[in-house]
Chains A and B, each alone.
Chain A
């Protein structure tokens, strides 16, 4: 049966981003290019973002599966491992043949995995679109590898773990996740527990189940940005992906219960290192319709950014901290707002922790000045506009929007939500999420530090 195409076009304003400082009138969409969408009847979504990128396109396959989906015990890190396996070839294109095609195109091609999604991306000449559709559609439907290839790739993943293991940040990230979460799969990092990574060569059979479960059209979106014709992409996709069968399998991701009291973990490092304090707080999923999400993003800048009073005091004036920052990376399920500080000396750490708490208390008591909020809104808008400097960057932003919310235009909703923020919003979230009962404190210091 000929696949039926449902076409929807979301047209954002093609005008340039405008500064939030301009006033209270409605702002142009943050992404200054039209987003066009189509859905094949097998559920595969096609999203294109045409804009002036002479001769170049970015071709992304967004799989809405990440380490969040790793519910089975002993199999953490599998989404990332599977990302590696996707380069191991098909009957039609062996691994070598697939690489040779990319090589002939001069493609910049790779993949990455996060907590929530797996992304396969290539930047290629626009004329190579039919080739990209063909080879990508082939491997997503017809991946084939033997156990020998599977085992060799498992050891490359161990190598990836090893390359990161000389940094205390891997250990720190593992401890934050493992301590802050008790139930949800965000308890493990994307690369997985080391024991599970070491055991990967033994999980060949499970890898087949993993592919069957998640590499299905209704769980994937093709994003093409740059010098692209939407209708052409849809036509090619219908031909090459149209026969891809729906899966329909799923798993239940366990919900994280509300935290019931403060948690701590203390780590050591075998070599001299600056002492680290990470304070993590559970916050909602990155749904742009939840005003708390935008308010927390602005709060990061207001309380911990480079222009915040706390940064000025601890990093610039008193120089007790070398680094002070906060982050709440977008997540599909409720995740964490993390305050991160690296102290100059171990004896400064108790004071740094106390003053972080005081700054959050102050943000809850006293509303931020309007001008300061305007400045933060302007910063967020221009930071995004500056980020959109290539077809790849645009595809990355749209891909993340799809991965986290299921909607390519949610990225515009997020920036519109920033523009609606009031001082009361920041005050509200400062009072709501930073109680000690919702806090996980992880410290790292040199082993045997005096």
Chain B
């Protein structure tokens, strides 16, 4: 298990060592007031006081799908499900639901690569009842056989039905991650693999919970009008968790460098072609260069905005598809919002471009267009005007990432895992000092790579393979009028953009994630 930065917030016995650090509320939208933790290194609970009627709670464990034993892929996520959507030693799951129902609350569980988060937001009228129930669920799960069967079947259905047959965009993204991290602890959906899930027993789940869901692995945060009595209640509620040990640092290796363009086509019935492409990065939020790349990436493809060049050029000027974005971190959208979920801490990150489904006959052009746009950024960099506009945008926009209690708390916890302040504060402090030269240098250093992996979900895989490997241009054919001359001239460059050292493999959809 990877060890996070040394100033952990909850170490040793919960009952004996809790001294909570008070992280000041992030007063929006003034960057200068953002989080000034008073006692960050003392350990304890992250407490973000606010005055409203709601309280958010986050129980974060430093365990994730990377900790799945070989042959039991999916164990971490299934264990998290058994906590969040199963009974307790004193309550069957249906009784848990009965308790939550009048408060309109739940314990949401999310198992990601390196962390598992249980969280909820509740009205303060119900806070004591919520803390009592949620801590019991985490510390004393029932591990009932009927819950195990239900939740394992759900996970299997997700892999074999939902991912393979109901959502080509998610299928493309998980195919990319699986390809990028082949043979690596990150190289599969967090839900696991079909064979791994089938091999898991209820005893495996019990052991995994006992070994990994410990006080040593826990970081806890509360946001809202909470007092010492609440802290004490949490402390007592989680006292049954084993103390565990702060494990020695076990570095997650980076993925192997990629040579050339390695394309994985997932073959399935599909009307359009979903595309994701990317490569591993050597930096994370712990590195200074990351913050320079934040600016360049926002300029290239800020998620679900019209600011990014990819979106403006591919969708806006060409009508190619619904959206085109880029990322320098794993990005999981938070519900219907535009923002990523907080607390997706990873010690290894990757760059990616997401091309939303394009008409099949335009898929090779779309791939080339994405590569061409990235190449243009690397070779030409940003102008001063582009840099200043994007930096100004980010300084304001990032304040919106912490609008809700739960998100605010999530960012507070997350910064500590990277050994940094929360991301919003880091940006507020760093961006004003950043220079254009630093950004363009970071782009050349980290985004100019020898190779890349590509995932394409397509209906006629062999025809796509042929088009990719033919060496022929892939001209954009418009069925709309009035394309600008400048765009048509770019199209001529894009249609012959080299697909260097191309390797293509086709995986039938029924074989993937097996």
Contacts and interface: CB of A to CB of B under 8 A. Distances in A.
Contacts of B320: 155-156, 159
Contact of B338 (A95, A108, A169, A317): A108
A204 B30 CA distance: 45
Interface in B373-425: 389-390, 392-400, 403-406
Given A152-B316, A162-B359, A382-B102, A201 B393 contact: no
A96 B103 CA distance: 46
B399 A106 contact: yes
B52 A52 contact: yes
B482 to A, nearest CB: 2
Given A99-B307, A152-B319, A159-B320, A269 B483 contact: no
Classify the interface of chain A: helix, strand, loop or mixed.
helix
| Most chain A beta-carbon contacts within 10 A, residue among B160, B315, B319, B400 | B319
Contacts of A162: 271-272, 321-322, 356-359
Interface residues of B, number: 86
Contact of B123 (A123, A375, A385): A385
A382 B393 contact: no
Contact of B319 (A18, A95, A103, A153): A153
A271 B317 contact: no
B94 interface: yes
A343 to B, nearest CB: 11
Interface string B114-131: 000000011101100000
Given A379-B101, A382-B105, A271 B395 contact: no
B128 to A, nearest CB: 14
A168 B162 CA distance: 10
A102 B304 CA distance: 14
A272 B165 contact: yes
A159 B161 contact: no
Contacts, number: 233
A344 interface: yes
A147 to B, nearest CB: 6
B97 interface: yes
Given A54-B28, A166-B270, A322 B166 contact: no
Contact of B271 (A105, A149, A154, A166): A166
Given A123-B400, A166-B167, A316-B93, A322 B157 contact: yes
- How many of chain A's residues touch chain B, expressed as a range? 35 or more
A160 B321 CA distance: 7
A147 B482 contact: yes
A236 interface: no
Contact of A105 (B94, B154, B396): B396
A272 B158 CA distance: 11
B169 to A, nearest CB: 6
Contacts of A148: 480-484
Interface string A306-318: 1100001001110
B486 interface: no
Interface in B447-467: 457
Contacts of B53: 16-17, 32, 385
Interface in B137-180: 146, 149-150, 153-154, 157, 160-161, 164-169
A233 interface: no
B204 to A, nearest CB: 20
Contacts of A385: 53-54, 104, 123
Given A110-B338, A148-B481, A306-B97, A159 B315 contact: yes
A21 B272 contact: no
Contact of A307 (B101, B121, B394, B400): B101
B340 interface: no
A270 interface: yes
A340 B102 CA distance: 23
B25 to A, nearest CB: 9
B60 interface: no
A316 B146 contact: yes
Interface stretch (A205-213, A350-358, A388-396): A388-396
A203 interface: no
Interface in A1-55: 16-19, 21, 32, 52-55
Interface in B84-126: 93-94, 97-98, 101-105, 121-123, 125-126
Contacts of A158: 359
Contacts of A306: 97, 101
Contact of B482 (A96, A146, A168): A146
B268 interface: yes
A106 B393 CA distance: 4
A307 B103 CA distance: 13
Contacts of A322: 153-154, 157
A155 B480 contact: yes
A335 B271 CA distance: 31
A142 B255 CA distance: 52
B481 A166 contact: no
A305 B104 CA distance: 12
Contact of B54 (A56, A125, A152, A389): A389
B509 interface: yes
Contacts of A392: 403
Contacts of A270: 269
Contact of A391 (B271, B274, B403): B403
Given A52-B51, A159-B322, A162-B359, A106 B395 contact: yes
10 contacts: A55-B28, A56-B29, A56-B399, A125-B29, A154-B319, A159-B323, A307-B98, A319-B146, A386-B122, A392-B403
Given A104-B396, A271-B164, 13 more contacts: A32-B53, A54-B29, A104-B389, A152-B316, A155-B318, A155-B320, A162-B357, A166-B457, A319-B149, A378-B103, A379-B103, A385-B53, A389-B403
- The 6 nearest A-B residue pairs measured at CB: A106-B396, A148-B482, A155-B319, A271-B165, A151-B480, A159-B321
